[in-house]
Amino acid sequence: MTELSAHLPQFQHGQLTENFPDTHLSNTNDNSERRHHDHSERRRNDHPESETNGQPQNNIQQVVEQDEEEDEELTLKYGAKHVIMLFVPVTLCMVVVVATIKSVSFYTRKDGQLIYTPFTEETETVGQRALNSILNAAIMISVIIVMTILLVVLYKYRCYKVIHGWLIISSLLLLFFFSFIYLGEVFKTYNVAMDYITVALMIWNFGVVGMICIHWKGPLRLQQAYLIMISALMALVFIKYLPEWTAWLILAVISVYDLVAVLCPKGPLRMLVETAQERNETLFPALIYSSTMIWLVNMAEEDPEAQRKASKNSTYNKQAPARQTQNEDAEADDGGFSQEWQQQRDNRIGPIESTPESRAAVQALPSNSQTSEDPEERGVKLGLGDFIFYSVLVGKASATASGDWNTTLACFVAILIGLCLTLLLLAIFKKALPALPISITFGLVFYFATDNLVQPFMDQLAFHQFYI
Amino acid sequence: PAFGLFLFTIARDPLRIIILIAGAFFWLVSLLLSSLIWFIAVKVSDPQDERLQKGLLIFGVMFSVLLQEAFRFLYYKLLRKAIEGLVALSEDGCSPISIQQMAYVAGVGFGLMSGAFSMINLLADALGPGTVGIHGDSQLYFLTSAFMTMVLIFLHTFWGILFFHGCEHRRWWEIAAVVVMHLTVSGSSFCNPLYVGSLVPSYMLMAAAAAWAYLLSGGSAQNLRRFLLCKF
DSSP H or E stretch at residue B87: helix B50-89
| Alpha-carbon span B19 to B112, nearest angstrom | 13
B219 Cβ partners below 8 Å, 6+ apart? none
Determine the angle formed by the axes of helices A436-449 and A405-429, rounding to 10 degrees: 150
pLDDT category, A405, cuts 50, 70, 90? confident
Query: ipTM surpassing 0.85, yes or no?
Result: no
Distance separating alpha carbons of residues B202 and B192, to the nearest angstrom: 12
Q: Which helix (H) or strand (E) holds B56?
A: helix B50-89
Q: State the catalytic residue, choosing from A38, A71, A334, A386.
A: A386
pLDDT band (50, 70, 90) for residue B160: confident
Output the pLDDT for position A28: 35
Say how far apart CA A312 and CA A95 lie, in whole Å. 27
pLDDT at A230 over 80: yes
Whether A324 shows a pLDDT value over 60: the answer reads: no
Compare A371 and A143 and report the one with higher pLDDT: A143
- In A, which residues are within 8 Å of B41 by CB distance? none
For residue B68, which of B152, B149, B3, B142 has the smallest C-alpha distance? B152
Per the CB < 8 A criterion, the answer to whether B133 and B141 are in contact is: yes
The confidence score (pLDDT) of residue B47 equals 64
Active site residue A404: no
User: What local confidence, expressed as pLDDT, does residue A49 receive?
Assistant: 37
Query: What pLDDT sits at residue A39?
Result: 37
Q: Report the SS3 class of residue A288.
A: strand
pLDDT in tens, B47-63: 666 777 777 777 777 78
Mean pLDDT comparison of A20-24, A45-49, A95-99, highest-scoring range = A95-99
Confidence band (pLDDT; 50, 70, 90) for B218? low
Angle between helices A455-464 and B50-89 (to 10 degrees): 110
pLDDT band at A126 (very low <50, low <70, confident <90, very high): confident
Q: What pLDDT score was predicted for residue A88? A: 84
Most A-contacting residue of B71, B89, B102 (CB-CB within 10 A), to test interface: B89
What's the rounded mean pLDDT across residues A263-289?
A: 73
Is residue A201 exposed (0-12), middle (13-18) or buried (19+ Cβ within 10 Å)?
Answer: exposed
User: What is the separation, in whole angstroms, between the first and last Cα of chain B?
Assistant: 22
Range of the domain at B154: 1-229
Query: Quick one: closest CA in B to A3, which residue?
Result: B85
**Cβ A24 vs Cβ A338: under 8 Å:** yes
Q: Inform me whether the pLDDT recorded for A44 exceeds 60.
A: no
- pLDDT exceeds cutoff 80 at B198: no
- Whole-number pLDDT of residue A337: 41
Of B18, B37, B125, which to mutate for an interface test with A (greatest number of A Cβ within 10 Å)? Answer: B18
Task: Return the higher-pLDDT residue of A381 and A237.
Answer: A237
Give residue-wise pLDDT tens across range B78-95: 887 877 777 666 656 555
Q: Do A465 and B25 touch (CB under 8 A)?
A: no
Is residue A388 predicted with pLDDT exceeding 60?
yes
The predicted pLDDT at position B206 comes to 76
Q: Which amino acid is at B16?
A: R
The burial of A328, by beta-carbon neighbours within 10 Å (0-12 exposed, 13-18 middle, 19 or more buried), is given as: buried
Give the pLDDT mean for A454-459: 76
In 3D, which of A127, A40, A436 has the Cα closest to residue A258? A436
- pLDDT, mean of residues B190-203: 63
∠ CA(B100), CA(B103), CA(B105), 5° rounding? 110
Report the pLDDT averaged over residues B2-26. 70
pLDDT reported for residue A131: 84
Q: A5, B60: Cβ pair inside 8 Å?
A: no
Q: Which residues of A touch B54 (CB under 8 A)?
A: 464
B91 close to A (CB below 8 A)? yes
The radius of gyration computed from the CA coordinates of chain B, to the nearest angstrom, equals: 19
Mean pLDDT of A396-401: 82
Residue A139 CA to residue A74 CA, distance in Å, equals 47
Query: Quick one: pLDDT band at residue A294, thresholds 50, 70, 90?
Result: very low
Report CA-CA distances (Å) from B101 to B16, B23, B162, B164.
8, 13, 12, 10
Nearest CA distance, B104 vs chain A (angstrom) = 16
> Could you tell me the pLDDT band of residue B2, with boundaries at 50, 70 and 90?
low
Sheet harboring A378-383: ordered strands across?
Answer: A288-290, A378-383, A349-351
Chain A CB within 8 Å of residue B88 CB: yes
How confident is the model over B173-190, as pLDDT tens digits? 777 777 777 777 777 766
Q: Report how far apart, in Å, the C-alpha atoms of B99 and of each of A19, B5, B16, B19, B169 are.
A: 43, 18, 11, 11, 12
Question: Averaged over A17-27, what is the pLDDT?
Answer: 35
Question: How sure is the predictor about A449, in pLDDT bands with cuts at 50, 70 and 90?
Answer: confident
Measure the CA–CA gap between A307 and A310, rounded to whole angstroms.
5
B140 touches chain A (CB under 8 A): no
Tell me the average pLDDT of chain A.
66
Per the model's pLDDT, the better-predicted residue between A53 and B158 turns out to be B158
| Contact predicate B209/B153, CB 8 Å | no
Neighbours of A15 (CB within 10 A): 34
- Residue B232 C-alpha, separation from nearest chain A C-alpha, in angstroms: 37
Angle CA(B153)–CA(B154)–CA(B160) in degrees, nearest 5? Answer: 95
> Is residue A7 predicted with pLDDT exceeding 50?
no
pLDDT at A54 over 60: no
- The SS3 of residue A451 is helix
Q: Per-residue pLDDT for B110 more than 50?
A: yes
Contacts of A467 in chain B (CB under 8 A): 61, 118, 148-149, 152, 185-186, 189
pLDDT confidence of residue B139: 56
**Can the peptide bond before residue B193 be classed as cis, meaning omega within 30 degrees of 0?**
yes
pLDDT tens per residue, range A162-211? 888 888 888 888 778 888 888 888 888 888 888 888 888 888 888 888 88
Closest CA to A49 of A306, A358, A341, A225: A306
Give the residue on B whose Cα is nearest the Cα of A443. B25
Pairwise CA distance, residues A224 & A291, whole Å: 8
The closest CB to that of B121, out of A1, A77, A405, belongs to A405
Q: Mean pLDDT over residues A149-166, rounded?
A: 80
Residue % of chain A over a pLDDT of 90: 0
The stretch B112-139 carries a mean pLDDT of: 63
pLDDT at residue B131, as a whole number: 55
Residues, chain A, total? 468
- In terms of Cα–Cα distance, which of A299, A235, A231 is closest to A32? A299
Which residue ranges make up each domain of chain A?
79-290+379-464
Nearest chain A residue to B87 by CA distance is A2
Q: What is the pLDDT at residue A65? A: 47
What residue of A is the nearest CA neighbor of B193?
A465
pLDDT band at A304 (very low <50, low <70, confident <90, very high): very low
**Which residue from A243, A420, A414, A384 is spatially nearest to B25, judged by alpha carbons?**
A414
Give the largest Cα separation in chain B, rounded.
64
Domain count, chain B: 1
Q: Which long-range contacts (CB under 8 A, 24 or more apart) does A134-141 make?
A: A134/A249, A136/A243, A136/A246, A136/A249, A136/A250, A137/A246, A137/A249, A137/A250, A137/A253, A140/A116, A140/A246, A140/A250, A140/A332, A140/A336, A141/A250, A141/A253, A141/A254, A141/A257, A141/A336
Chain A positions touching B98 (Cβ under 8 A) are none
Note the pLDDT of residue A309.
37
Looking at per-residue pLDDT, the higher value among A13 and B44 belongs to: B44
> Distance of alpha carbon A25 from its chain centroid, rounded?
7
pLDDT above 70 for A454:
yes
- A461, B57: Cβ pair inside 8 Å? yes
Percent with pLDDT over 70 in chain A: 58
pLDDT in the model for residue B121: 64
Chain A residues within an 8 Å CB radius of B53: 460
Residues 30-69 of B with CB under 8 A from A: 31-32, 34-36, 38-39, 42, 53-54, 57-58, 60-61, 64-65, 68
Statement: residue A397 has pLDDT above 80: yes
pLDDT at B64 over 60: yes
- Tell me the pTM: 0.70
Burial class (CB within 10 angstroms; exposed 0-12, middle 13-18, buried 19+) of A263: middle
Q: Which residue of A has its CA nearest to B82?
A: A2
| Mean pLDDT computed over every residue of chain B | 71
Residue A1 pLDDT: 37
**Is A111 part of the annotated catalytic residue set?**
no
